[in-house]
Amino acid sequence: MMPNRTERPDTNRRDWHNLKSVLPFLWEYRGRALFALACLIASKVANVGVPLFLKDIVDSLQGKPEQVLVLPVILLLGYGALRLASALFNELRDTVFARVRYHAMRKMSVRVLEHLHNLSLRFHLERKTGAISRDLERGTASVSTLMNFMVFSIIPIAVEFTLVAVILLGNYAPAFALVTFATVAVYVIFTIKITEWRMDHRHEMNRLDSQSSNQAVDSLINYETVKYFNNEKLELARYDATLGQWEDVAVKSQTSMSLLNFGQSSIIAIGVTIIMFLAANSVVNGTMSIGDLVMVNAFMLQLFLPLGTLGIVYRQVKYTLADMDMVFRLLETPQEVRDVPNASALQVTLGEIRFEQVDFGYQAERQILRGVSFRVPAGTKLAVVGHSGAGKSTLSRLIYRFYDITGGRVLIDGQDIAQVTQASLRKAIGIVPQDTVLFNDTIRYNLQYGNPQATQVEIERAADMAHIRTFIESLPDGWETVVGERGLKLSGGEKQRVAIARAILKQPPILIFDEATSSLDSATEQAIQQTLHEVAGHHTTLMIAHRLSTIVDADRILVLDKGQVVEQGTHAELLALHGQYQRMWELQLHEKD
């Protein structure tokens, strides 16, 4: 994700690639963009016309006395009109271009979030939330910043420079244009060379900035863990160490920028001084008037003052491109799980699930499932048990197609889930996960997430079935109670009951309960078990369980061990085998005692 020093030789190619990648975001408002460009050119034409009027004003004041009361008034009015026109077209350009700029930011933000949602579970398990958040913040803002610099700085300077060059070449000795061109050329080359040298510091600052942001967010997300182990100082020391490195790099960056600024100012000062010597000498020789001297001086001020900021603009554009590069690299992260071309929607009539010789590993060297085969007939309940690491929860991830299997097939109603759209597949499945994470919003929002179109009556019914309605209505804010980040304001049992109600509200043909009662007390567990039994009666249900007492009524039970099905049958049949299931059962009975 992060640009690093080994990527520096590729920077220029990446910059052009990123610039081209921005163009599609502008295309929707290309008419506005072109009109803004026309306003920009009109503004600069008016701006360049100001020194021409100034020259005529000065020269007219050296004319005959009877002309002084007539011509200066007309010229002064023209001078004022041009300044007014320049300001008007500038503001019109800003107003028209605002929609282009902010719409591009919006589109970029939405596209990045959409891409993140489309990336695989593997990516999100490995991601650093704080770093990504910081990268996205800088990256989407960089689109607006780049457009600002292009439309408000770089293009205006180029247009004005062209107009001034035409006037100088057409009206004065070639030496004026030659010195002007040479000064600009030396300035640009110096700026580019030094800025390229300084870019390593910016890349390193970005890397350390994202790293520190990730550390801060990570420590806040794990606030309770920090408190449990009394490690506030450890977190602060880690954060401060990273910021210390960032500070050192930032100081180097600022020091080198001062060197760059002084060099740029020196080049401009030398160029302007030479131009003024040439102009003053021409006045003395009689080849130029005082008005010409004033006009050339005004041109140089108009040209070199913004050129003085071109160095800053170039640096900022390079920094902006570095920021933007992080977002485009993220957008180029490939989707691990993709719909096949022309994938059809899953058609669920019964809801039968079948695993056929399924092999899977999160890494090539870490095989999780080995030749797993089983069938869950429509409307029945299959339970999966086994020790930690046996691969139980992996089954639910594969049914959802969060990962692609390495061998075999997973079928729903005879359809290979790898051949149907992921959206239609996931629409047909509801899950109550072991670790329920809620949005930092109201209880109503989190419940209704299972079915955004659900009515209040349907929401209340689902809450009743999950035995959580009484609790919700006892809260001061009731259904509008905000649950906090990741649902931290609720207990584990309360969060799990919200998850159960949410799954009920979705009303899918297939239900997965991944240790759905693991956080409940015994009394609530018994009530929820009855609810799950009622709900499962109308669905095909896969229950992943640690507590064997919760699945004794399953139609069939699979025992997984080291990624293989070692036993299967009903509760009574498995006990009669006197195998692994029977040993697990006796162990849990002793634990209760």
Residue 446 lies in a domain: no
Helices 11-27 and 71-118, axial angle in degrees (round to 10): 100
Q: Which domain holds residue 327?
A: 5-331
Using an 8 Å Cβ cutoff, are 194 and 108 in contact? no
Any domain includes 467: no
Q: For residue 478, tell me if it sits in a domain.
A: no
Name the packing angle between helices 155-171 and 174-221 (round to 10°): 170
Nearest to 290 by CA among 75, 82, 57: 57
| CATH number of the domain that residue 141 is part of | 1.20.1560.10
Classify residue 279: in a domain, yes or no: yes
Number of domains in the chain: 1
Is 60 exceeded by the pLDDT of residue 219? Answer: yes
Is the pTM higher than 0.85?
Answer: no
**pLDDT score, position 223:** 82
Q: Is the confidence at residue 55, as pLDDT, over 70?
A: yes
Residue 355 lies inside a defined structural domain of this protein: no
Position 12 in a domain: yes
Task: Tell me the pLDDT tens digit for each residue of 266-325.
Answer: 888 888 888 888 888 888 887 877 877 777 777 777 777 776 666 667 767 777 777 777
Q: Give per-residue pLDDT as tens, 500-546.
A: 889 888 888 999 988 776 656 666 667 667 767 777 667 899 998 88
**Which residue is listed with tokens 């046996």?**
390
| Mean pLDDT of all residues in 380-400 | 88
Residue 289 covered by a domain: yes
Q: Is residue 412 part of a domain?
A: no
| DSSP annotation of 289 | -
Task: Please answer whether residues 475 and 481 qualify as being in contact, where contact means their C-beta atoms are separated by less than 8 angstroms.
Answer: yes
| Residue with the two structure tokens 């919200």 | 498
